[in-house]
Structure 1
Amino acid sequence: MGEPAIRKVLYITGSRADFGLMKNTLIKIHSNTSLDLSIIACGMHLMKEYGNTLDEITQSDFNMDIANVTFKKNDRSSMASYIGELICSLVKKIELIKPDILLLLGDRGEMLAGATVGAYLGIPVAHIHGGEKSSTIDEAVRHAITKLSHLHFCSTEESYNRLKKLGEKTENIFITGAPGLDGIKQNILKSDEIYKIYALKKNEPFVILLQHPVSEELGNASNQIKESLEAIKSMKIQCIVIYPNADAGSKEMIDEINKYSDDENFKIHKNVERAHFLSLLNTGKALIGNSSAGVSESSSFKIPVINIGNRQKNRQSAKNVIHCDYNKKDIIKTMDFISTNEQFKKTLKQLVNPHGDGSASQKIIEVLIKKEINESLLQKQITY
């Protein structure tokens, strides 16, 4: 494959989460004269019940296409079928776009579908956030994407070493840091603006609840979110509740969340735009749930995180993250600890985010422009 004067980069996005993390990097790719960016949106972006997140992509002025594939039901078989259907749709879209590089982030099913298509079509796949441990099906999917990918942009040295152990060539692994940290404090709203926008009582603290279903624990999804909601209710503290992702089990969680809509302390939102979400982290008392933001972005704002359950338990994180079970009493006990323990409060002040310094975009762009695309890159072999 010859190296074109301008390289066409295609990014696939399936949710508010990955697009929010990548937006700053995508803007920089879009404005770089050596790169030509296209985006394919699918999945959760097309589901109005999760907040019309496609609008944010449309407003960003990117060259965008849509793979009109979403979850048909809220169960595991639908998740598996969704990946298969998306592969079929992406083949047609990608053959028309003819990208030089396919860019993916994380461990979602959309990224697995994209990596599969890229590998079979002979298109180099560049994967961000490979080599990270988590738990549940997410970890297996992340490592599967790694083995289908040709370039690896990892956030930490720990992830770099894990990719080497997975048999990836060191010349194709780059420690860039997490792109979600780039420009993370550029558009932060002032505290009084946040209180006004979200109709919060002035001078009273609030927490953020963002909790997703776990595929191996679907039968417990409703009870798991209920334990969190009941804990927060008992604390008599204001709470911004954000709908979970669209994975199996989310409908049951949303039904449970909506039971609290009449409680004045709960402010329920289908979606919160990224600048607002980061502003909430900057102002809030704690982040509660199992969002990846708890292990990635949170430490940049020195906000305590109560990480519930197994979804993020094995992820590399800073010392602001306290793990607890899906249990009302445990959550209340942990909240009391982060509110009263003076040593923990001192630790927060000294936090350094382990996932980078906010310069990932430029490092990623440099590789996308300069890395030679040849048979050695495309014909993958394990290194041992």
Structure 2
Amino acid sequence: MRRICVVTGTRAEYGLLYWLMKEIDSDPELQIQVVVTGMHLSPEFGLTYRQIEEDGFVIDAKVEMLLSSDTAVAVSKSIGLGVIGFADALERLKPDIVVLLGDRYEILAAAQAALVARIPVAHIHGGETTEGAIDESIRHAVTKMSRLHFVAAEPYRARVIQMGEAPESVVNVGALGLENLMRLKLLGREELEQSIDFRLGQRCLLVTYHPATLGSVEPKGAMQALLDALDCFPECNLIFTKPNSDTNGRIISYMIDEYARHRPGRVSVFTSMGQVRYLSAMLCVDAVIGNSSSGIIEAPACKTATVNIGERQSGRLKAKSIVDCGETTESIKAAIEQVLLPSFQDEVAGVESVYGSGQSAAAIKDHLKQADICCTKPFYDL
């Protein structure tokens, strides 16, 4: 059997990998190995590795790497701990391929360990640009450490090839996240309200804001601008999901908790909603607000408007349902006003996704099963 090791470090990433993991696990010619790390193992972020186990997966290794701090120094030290932990895990598991998704620092640690161990890496969602975050550099670094590439759109495929990767190793499979919209049994409005114990009300907004680690605006000030803008819409109930374990993530979480504490009944806050409730909420709300990639990829497929704040997602392909704005109260307020207009909501209903049709998992699994897994690769010159 070909051993396929899937690494996951966050709730959102696992949500994207879920169907691929199911595809691998159900194939009699493949053996899945699951390694969890980062936020999954932290009580502060909900110990979300438990959800992976509840979904029926056996966790083959846990790599502890997350320090109890969100400073730049702590993140750098976490990467170092991660490299050490992944080195041990990969030596014990001896996978044939390591599957990594995205651009977070946990993934950088796993890629380094796999590279030195001469284990081929299959990278998902390469070639994208997010100019407002260090994720941009991490993503491209992991691309160069990888042997196989599964991208979400043709422009991203072209960019990976531009970086010197052989065209036959770069496959456009679309975005994995859209698979959840097709295959998960999502909740209706009343079911969702019962599940989260919160009334959506006449209007509701889903808010997810992460620190822009290379942004020009300090995260605390940007978050305050967002909260002040949301106060301009008292008729809108608000569902917040908390940020990842990035630098300055804790101050944003604290500000969200304080904001909610003074607005009981209007605001609900979640460390982790899980994919079913999060996507169900996305289908039910009037707009998604923040700077999460889910507002760029999943929201348009849900026919839900997005207000994309700041520079974190700059460079990504965007549907017409997405309104970009600056990190000021005035700019955010104007963007929310625009997406709530009935005329804009009518336009959103006709928007098509630019990230494929939601049939990525089986395609990736088939390529993993058949791919040449030699570690050496020539640089491809255009």
- Report the TM-score range of the alignment, normalised by the length of the smaller protein: over 0.9
Which amino acid is the alignment partner of residue 208 of structure 2? Answer: L
Number of positions where the alignment pairs a residue of Structure 1 with one of Structure 2: 375
Distance 1:306 1:271 in 2: 21
Aligned counterpart, 1:340: 341
SS at the partner of 1:78?
A: helix
| 2:148 match | 151
User: Does 2:356 match 1:361?
Assistant: no
Determine the C-alpha separation between the residues in 1 that align with 2:195 and 2:118: 48
Q: In structure 1, what is the equivalent of residue 40 of structure 2?
A: 45
Q: How many angstroms apart in 1 are the aligned matches of 2:200 and 2:71? A: 41
Matched with 1:308 is: 309
CA distance in 1, matches of 2:232, 2:253: 20
Aligned residue number for residue 173 of structure 1: 170
Unaligned runs of 5+ in 2: none
Q: How does 1:222-237 map to 2 (within 5 A)?
A: 222-236=220-234, 237=236
For each residue in 1:157-207, what CA deviation from the matched residue of structure 2 results, as whole angstroms up to 9, or x when unmatched? 010111111110011111111111114243110111122333333652210
SS at match of 2:86: helix
CA distance in 1, matches of 2:195, 2:354: 31
Mapped to 2, the partners of 1:218 and 1:332 lie a distance apart of 19
Q: Any conservation in 1 of the 2:287–2:340 contact (CA below 8 Å)?
A: no
Q: Is the 8 A contact 2:97 2:373 kept in 1?
A: no
CA-based RMSD = 1.5
Structure 2 Cα separation of the partners of residues 253 and 318 of structure 1: 28
The DSSP-based 3-state class of the residue aligned with 1:11 is strand
Residues 38 and 62 of structure 1 are in contact (CA less than 8 Å); yes or no, is this contact kept in structure 2?
no
Distance 1:148 1:201 in 2: 47
Q: Where does 1:215-364 land on structure 2 (aligned, <5 Å)?
A: 215-217=213-215, 220-236=218-234, 237-260=236-259, 261-264=261-264, 265-340=266-341, 342=343, 344-364=344-364
Q: Which amino acid aligns with 1:74?
A: D
Which residues of structure 1 form unaligned runs of 5+? Answer: 1-5
- For 1:220 and 1:325, the matched residues in 2 are separated by 13
Q: Which one of 364, 379, 382 corresponds to residue 382 of structure 1?
A: 379
Residue identity (%): 28
Q: Secondary structure at the match of 2:330?
A: helix
Asked if the contact 1:209/1:287 (under 8 Å) is kept, the reply is: yes
- 1:285 deviates by 0.7
Verify: 1:103 aligned to 2:99, yes or no.
yes
Alignment of 1:167-206 (within 5 A): 167-185=164-182, 186-201=184-199, 203-206=201-204
Q: Residues 112-165 of structure 1: CA distance to partner in whole angstroms, max 9, x if unpaired? A: 111111111111100000111111211111000000000000010010111111
User: In 2, are the aligned partners of 1:153 and 1:173 still within 8 Å (CA)?
Assistant: yes
Q: Which residue of 1 is the match for residue 115 of structure 2?
A: 119
Q: Is structure 2 residue 136 aligned with structure 1 residue 139?
A: yes
2: distance between equivalents of 1:338 and 1:379? 49
* Offset at residue 71 of structure 1 (A): 2.6
1:73 partner SS: coil
Tell me the TM-score normalized by structure 1. Answer: 0.94
The two structures have a TM-score, normalised by structure 2, of 0.95
Counterpart in the other structure of 1:3? none
Provide the rounded CA distance (Å) in 2 between the counterparts of 1:358 and 1:100. Answer: 27
